[in-house]
Amino acid sequence: MPFPATHPLLAEALTARGYAEPTPVQAAVLAPGHEGRDLLVSAQTGSGKTVAFGLALAETLIGAAPILVPSLAPRALVVAPTRELALQVERELAWLWARTGARLVSCVGGMDPRRERRALEVGADIVVGTPGRLRDHIERGALDLSALEVAVLDEADEMLDLGFREDLTFILDAAPATRRTLLFSATIPPQIAALARDHQTDAMRIDTVGRNAPHADIAYRAVRVAPREIEHAVVNVLRQVEARAAMVFCATREQVRHLHASLLERGFSAVALSGELSQAERTTALQSLRDGRARVCVATDVAARGIDLPHLDLVVHADLPNDREALLHRSGRTGRAGRKGVCALIVPVNRRRKAEGLIQAARIDVEWSGPPTIEEIRAADEARFLADPTITEAPGEDERDTAQRLLETRTPEEIAAALVRLWRARLPAPEDVSDPGERPQRRTREEREAFVPREKTPFEGRGAREREPREARERLPMAWFTLSVGRRQNADPKWLLPLICRLGEVERGVVGPIRIFPEETRFGIVVDAAERFAQAAQRPNDENVRVARADGEPGPQPGFGKPAFGKPGPGKGGFGKTGPARSGKGGFGKGEFGKDGPRGKPAPRGEAPFRKDDTRRGPAEGAPRRRHGER
């Protein structure tokens, strides 16, 4: 359908830009009856919101007049959460309002504030900025909002997430109460609804898609990977998809620096984008992506918020986002304005549950797989090579002469092989990454009941995780392994269990009994996962430990000797079933548990043994109790 009625000067700009029909959000914002009203708009990222409110500004600033009447004080204000988004909005409004002669001024952090003040003094019709810099100019008297007629809050949910609520309230309170307020947000959580109630009047709610619906033009993939191979998986995903532009998200600035350096070392044309970079560096990085000099951008969430890059076909979550909103906003960098895109979540096996929770909360359909293999990447390279214009286009006259001379000295097979080598030489080498496999099935009720906590001795902490099977243990067969740390290295189940999971790239559910010996630890792995565990554990690691297969189930731990008193209780030289080790007739000897336990003072001989009904040390039944203070 054609664009709704808009000012002729803006209609000319739309036609010159190739806009034939409006997007849903543009049609909804410009629908009859919405003129002059406050609007609360939720729409997908990349759905044309900037053009939508750019056209809506014309209803107030120009109206039916043939031209825009210049003013000294700004009549329209657009507030965006980040520098990049503010500058992007300014660029969009610049071409849309170019024929009107409107003066646009940007006020963002990282830029020279003196230059901005001089531009504001000359006069501005539309001001675009970030909350902090706008508030600074208002407090210093450089920005006068007394004549403001329209205020636009773009990506309002992100501004609240970044802690800008106080700045937004200050800015809106400095503007006339009669202004028109347009609030745009990808989602409408309660805090956004509260902001709208405080600063809008009888706002019209517009939902251009199903509330909180995910993007329909994005194909989601979840890539299983071992925790220590995340970086290799990112490399292989970038190589397999081979997008014209791709964005890789990391959780911290340090991770951005590390991954960016690693990709450059491998031969990728990559740039970094994080809050620690200056505005000039961030602008240069984005421009290199737009003009094709770089193909991969490694960024944090904050730095990449609201960025619209042409031909961004791939988004990779190197670190899982914290919540569904972050997942949808990250992924929304691709699949914009009707273009198709791919979103890949790199899921370490120890974060599988979190990934499944995010996917379920975002209500997206995800295809699970292992990381792309070298064979799959080579096959994709071959298909792209055969379809490349270098191969398919007809040769020119000068090229025919060179080709003929080559054929005179080389065979066609040699020439084709040289061409393949030249093609592959410009591509980063793929990595050899293993697939950790599907998560093992949950245990049945019978299998879960085969494991119960053993009775703890008095000297065990509450964090002990060692378990011993019941008589029905054979229902859940185990493969046994040894770990090269033991009691002498202060081995403890509290940190042994996570270590075993990291080394073998398995979940806790497949780890069985853990038995700690003086020089080593033996543990069981469910037979179904044993082979996968063994292969992963043999790879080099930074833990300075070794894992090896054990010959069968280990015997009792050292120190579990014969009970001292002919009843369940402490044995000589170690733990019994229900009490601490003893030496002699009921007293501590040298104070050792086996050979390596804590040393204590020798106890007097003849001390009363344990009572039958209690594992704690104390007087025998019938012995008189001393009162407090007695010796």
More confident residue, 305 or 231: 231
| Alpha-carbon torsion, ordered 174, 179, 184, 189, to 10 deg | 70
Identical topology for domains 8-207 and 218-376: yes
Among residues 86, 21, 85, 25, the alpha carbon closest in space to that of 56 is found at 25
User: Which superfamily does 8-207 belong to?
Assistant: P-loop containing nucleotide triphosphate hydrolases (3.40.50.300)
Structure letter (DSSP) for residue 177 = T
Quick one: which H or E segment has residue 50?
Answer: helix 49-61
What span, in angstroms and rounded, lies between the C-alpha atoms of 478 and 523? 9
The strand pair at 180-185 and 521-526 is best described as unpaired
DSSP string, 369-424: EPPPPHHHHHHHHHHHHHHSHHHHSPP-HHHHHHHHHHHHHS-HHHHHHHHHHHHH
Q: Is the pLDDT of residue 470 over 60?
A: no
Weakest-pLDDT range from 40-49, 88-97, 257-266, 310-319: 40-49
Span 543-571, mean pLDDT? 59
The CATH architecture one would assign to domain 218-376 is: 3-Layer(aba) Sandwich (3.40)
CA distance from start to end of the chain: 99
More confident residue, 613 or 348: 348
Q: Whole-number mean pLDDT of the chain? A: 79
Q: Return the ∠ at Cα 44 (arms to 154 and 343), rounded to 5°.
A: 120
Q: Where are the domains of the chain?
A: 8-207, 218-376, 445-453+463-549
Q: Is the pLDDT of residue 584 over 80?
A: no
Q: Is the pLDDT of residue 465 over 50?
A: no
Among residues 361, 270, 286, 291, the alpha carbon closest in space to that of 320 is found at 361
DSSP string, 123-154: --SEEEE-HHHHHHHHHTTS---TT--EEEES
What span, in angstroms and rounded, lies between the C-alpha atoms of 256 and 168? 30
Instruction: Determine contact, residues 331/358, Cβ cutoff 8 Å.
Output: no
**pLDDT at position 374:** 92
Among residues 560, 543, 437, 427, the alpha carbon closest in space to that of 483 is found at 543
**pLDDT at position 571:** 40
Instruction: Determine contact, residues 314/342, Cβ cutoff 8 Å.
Output: yes
Q: Is the pLDDT of residue 200 over 80?
A: yes
How would you class 242 by CB atoms within 10 Å of its CB: exposed for 0-12, middle for 13-18, buried for 19 or more?
Answer: middle
Query: What tokens were used for 452?
Result: 């119960």
Q: Confidence class of residue 502 from pLDDT cuts 50, 70 and 90?
A: confident
Task: Say which CATH topology domain 445-453+463-549 has.
Answer: Alpha-Beta Plaits (3.30.70)
Instruction: Determine contact, residues 26/51, Cβ cutoff 8 Å.
Output: yes
**CA 420 from centre of chain:** 37
Instruction: Determine contact, residues 466/454, Cβ cutoff 8 Å.
Output: yes
* Maximum mean pLDDT: which of 215-229, 302-316, 440-454, 529-543: 215-229
**pLDDT at position 593:** 38
**pLDDT at position 63:** 79
